[in-house]
Amino acid sequence: MKLSPAVKVGILTLFSILILVFGVMWLKGRSISAGERTEVIFHDVDGMRPGSAVQMMGIRIGQVEDVIPVIGAENSCVKVRFVITEPNIKVPDASVISIQQSGIIGEKFLEITPPGPENVFIPVNRHFKKLLKEGCIVELLVSGKYVAVGEIKNSGIIDSRTLTTDERKSIKTPYTYKIEYVLNKPGFVVPRYSSYNLNFDDDMQEFKLQITPPDNVILETPEFQSKYTVIEPIRMREFFDIQLESASALKETNDRINRLLSDKFIDDIRITLNNTKDFSEKASNVMDQASDILTSSKDDITNLISLSTKLSDNMIVLSDNLNSIIGDKRFKTSLISTSESIQKSSEEISELLSNSKLQDSLVNINSTTKDLSEVVKYVNDLTKNKDFNTKIDTTVNNLNTSITKLSQVLDTVDELTTEEKDRLKEILDNSEEISKDMKKFSNKLNKRFLLLRLLFQ
């Protein structure tokens, strides 16, 4: 059957219209695919346009259909709608969606990263060495409180020596927890250099992993509710601003170092180094002298050591003797009886000292001692007197003469008759009575050695 020119023109026109429609849709990023369509919200899309690619783990799976700005008084945003054109591919919940760029001046595309497991290492304390159950809660500190953001998939205890050098810097225990967890709540990202801790939940009676961001990072609750975690792009200007701030901080640090390393400071350092060198040389000389002294006194030190050894041996022998003496039962018995006797004597002495008569006697003895002391003092004063010494010499001479005469008298008495002896006896008796009377008289006159003072004055 032969087609008429009109039919041929109609078919060509329809085919041209279809090509034109598909071309326009391709240029605008439109797709007639029946795949999954998803909408996410960004604050800034950094120049991404409809038709940009959508990649998952580096593989193109779709394209961006619409980029719709939403202008509001407070919450302005950009809605990005994309479609998955590849069959049997679904974007998992809590996936991370971000805007990336191919190279420095390449095209922008939407990158989807499915949630994956993260590994963390925590030291095993001595008081706690227990495996964590699968499904335990993972919490992240957000706005001052811990929020459940994931769960533990796997945990185990490994030897700390199997870790890398960087990982061992924060691990000081022999064993380490290796915990594998995954974030299943969208809108939250764990910052780098966060700290991890295990905490026991009394209500659930199980341990949970708590994540604390660094001190200078404060996490906030996501502004828009979504099934995915949206990462805002960083513009080149912001990147260069950060680099400029870093360069300014580095310049300020260099300026401070330059101000610190002034000529005066360098001179002080040079002087300090010279002084340190001199000190080290003097210390070396002192050590050499000390070595010479030790070498010269080696024999003395050896003798001292030998004497110390002998002394220690003697001390050992002495301690053995003391132990043998102390271990002797007879010695113990004698020592106990001696202590009992001393105790008994002390008790008796205490009783004697508590007797009132003895106390009076002691008082009298004290008084007598004082009187005797006065007499001795008086006699000492007399002995120092030259006249008194002269009188004493004269008295002694007279006494010797008297004794001589008495001896002669006794010889004469021996030659007397009986009657003469009786008469002499009577005279002596009378003399004795006279002496007694004189003694009574002297006692009355003698008040505190008055007679002695009268005799020697």
130-159 pLDDT tens trace? 667 788 889 999 988 898 999 998 888 888
Mean pLDDT of 422-427: 72
Per-residue pLDDT at 366 exceeds 70: yes
CA distances (Å), origin 296, targets 287, 299, 359 = 14, 8, 71
Mean pLDDT of 190-200: 86
Contact 76, 106 (CB under 8 A): no
Work out the pLDDT band at 357, boundaries 50, 70, 90. Answer: low
Is the pLDDT higher at 180 or at 299? 180
Per-residue pLDDT at 382 exceeds 80: no
- The overall average pLDDT reported for the chain is 79
Long-range Cβ contacts of 398-401 (<8 Å, 24+ apart)? none
Contact 153, 182 (CB under 8 A): yes
Mean pLDDT of 4-32: 71
Per-residue pLDDT at 375 exceeds 80: no
Mean pLDDT of 350-372: 71
Per-residue pLDDT at 32 exceeds 60: no
Write out pLDDT tens, residues 46-59. Answer: 888 888 899 998 89
Query: How high is the pLDDT of residue 456?
Result: 46
Per-residue pLDDT at 411 exceeds 70: no
Three-point CA angle 71, 77, 81, nearest 5°:
110
Three-point CA angle 253, 191, 121, nearest 5°:
105
Query: How high is the pLDDT of residue 130?
Result: 64
Candidates 346, 349, 325; CA nearest to 335 is 325
Is the pLDDT higher at 277 or at 205? 277
Query: How high is the pLDDT of residue 128?
Result: 55
Mean pLDDT of 237-242: 74
Per-residue pLDDT at 245 exceeds 70: yes
Three-point CA angle 9, 15, 18, nearest 5°:
140
Mean pLDDT of 212-224: 83
> What is the distance between the alpha carbons of residues 29 and 23, in angstroms, rounded to a whole number?
10
Mean pLDDT of 296-325: 83
> What is the distance between the alpha carbons of residues 37 and 83, in angstroms, rounded to a whole number?
4
Per-residue pLDDT at 365 exceeds 80: no
Per cent of the chain over pLDDT 90 is 6
Mean pLDDT of 275-295: 86
Per-residue pLDDT at 69 exceeds 50: yes
Mean pLDDT of 350-354: 69
Mean pLDDT of 198-212: 83
Give the position of tokens 């290796």. Answer: 178
Token pair listed for 140: 């992240």
In 3-state terms, the chain is what percent helix, strand and coil (to 5)? 50, 20, 25
Candidates 64, 50, 62, 109; CA nearest to 89 is 62
Per cent of the chain over pLDDT 70 is 79
Query: How high is the pLDDT of residue 26?
Result: 62
Candidates 203, 224, 195, 213; CA nearest to 137 is 203
SS3 call for 241: helix
Give the position of tokens 């003496």. Answer: 325
Per-residue pLDDT at 432 exceeds 70: no
Query: How high is the pLDDT of residue 455?
Result: 47
Query: How high is the pLDDT of residue 424?
Result: 66
As beta bridge partners, residue 198 has 209
Torsion of CA 240, 242, 243, 247, to 10 degrees: 130
Is the pLDDT higher at 330 or at 13? 13
Mean pLDDT of 66-77: 84
Per-residue pLDDT at 24 exceeds 80: no
Query: How high is the pLDDT of residue 27?
Result: 59
Query: How high is the pLDDT of residue 454?
Result: 47
Candidates 248, 241, 187; CA nearest to 219 is 187
